[in-house]
Chains A and B, each alone.
Chain A
């Protein structure tokens, strides 16, 4: 079974509007971390935001926020006030803590976001 599912292969958003990129995950661990990375057309992987399973508040980093719904096992990325430079692939990833021994980072297949002027 897939550990990380990103159901939107591609999305469009108008500049200055907000957009939500979906991510659901599958784990039986109580302790795990969720990450979002951005990959622009130049190819590098840029860390955006992190959410720990025990964090009580949703993570925020500037225009990025993570809508963490633990019971539903979802960790959606919200980008507010989209900019043309936000056009990129976005990857959701998870790391399980395996009772203290950290598991490896597992990536979803990504969502391609295109921002329209």
Chain B
């Protein structure tokens, strides 16, 4: 298993440009997530998906869009890039296990994409 893969690893964008960050997982996980990590901070959730065709906003969704047409892929789209979107972006996937109240999941992360907007 490759696990969670992300492309590209690095990217520099100019203000106003658009791009798509790719994320693929081969573990057949239903849940997928996009996070951003700003310098010296923990991760903040941008968007997540509980299955193909279903997406929802996280804590910091503004300026981003996602889609989930297959179980494996969860691309993140940046429209009109801004310097505030300079960050490291992580994709993650997980599966849920157990019954409530012991139900939980464990998230496995991709290697990250370092994005700079100038």
| Residues of chain A whose beta carbon lies under 8 Å from any beta carbon of chain B | 4, 30-31, 33, 35, 37, 43-47, 50, 52-55, 91, 93, 95, 97, 99-100, 102, 104-105, 107-110
Query: Tally of A-B residue pairs with Cβ under 8 A?
Result: 72
- Return chain A residues, CB-CB under 8 Å to B92: 45
Closest 6 CB pairs between A and B? A107-B42, A31-B101, A45-B109, A33-B104, A100-B100, A107-B43
Would A97 and B101 count as touching, CB distance under 8 A?
yes
B74 CB-CB contact with A under 8 Å: no
Report the bound CA distance from A102 to B48 in whole Å: 12
Main secondary structure of the interface of B (DSSP, over half): strand
Chain A nearest Cβ from B30, distance in angstroms: 12
* A43, A46, A52: the one within 8 Å of B104 (CB): A52
Q: A44-B109, A47-B107, A104-B58 are in contact. Are A97 and B100 (CB under 8 A)?
A: yes
Please judge, given known A-B contacts A104-B48, A104-B59, whether A45 and B42 are in contact too, CB under 8 Å: no
Q: A35-B106, A43-B112, A102-B105 are in contact. Are A108 and B100 (CB under 8 A)?
A: no
Task: Please list 30 pairs of residues, one from A and one from B, whose beta carbons are closer than 8 Å in the complex, sorted by A's number.
Answer: A31-B101, A31-B103, A35-B107, A37-B109, A43-B88, A43-B114, A44-B111, A44-B112, A45-B90, A45-B92, A50-B104, A52-B102, A53-B101, A54-B102, A91-B42, A91-B43, A93-B42, A95-B105, A97-B101, A100-B103, A102-B103, A102-B104, A102-B105, A104-B45, A104-B59, A105-B33, A105-B107, A107-B42, A109-B41, A110-B42
Select which of A31, A37, A43, A107 is within 8 A of B102 by beta carbon. Answer: A31
Once A45-B90, A109-B41 are accepted as A-B contacts, the answer to whether A30 and B101 lie under 8 Å apart by CB is yes
Number of interface residues of B (CB under 8 A): 29
- Complex contact B106–A50 (CB within 8 A): yes
B64 within 8 A of A: no
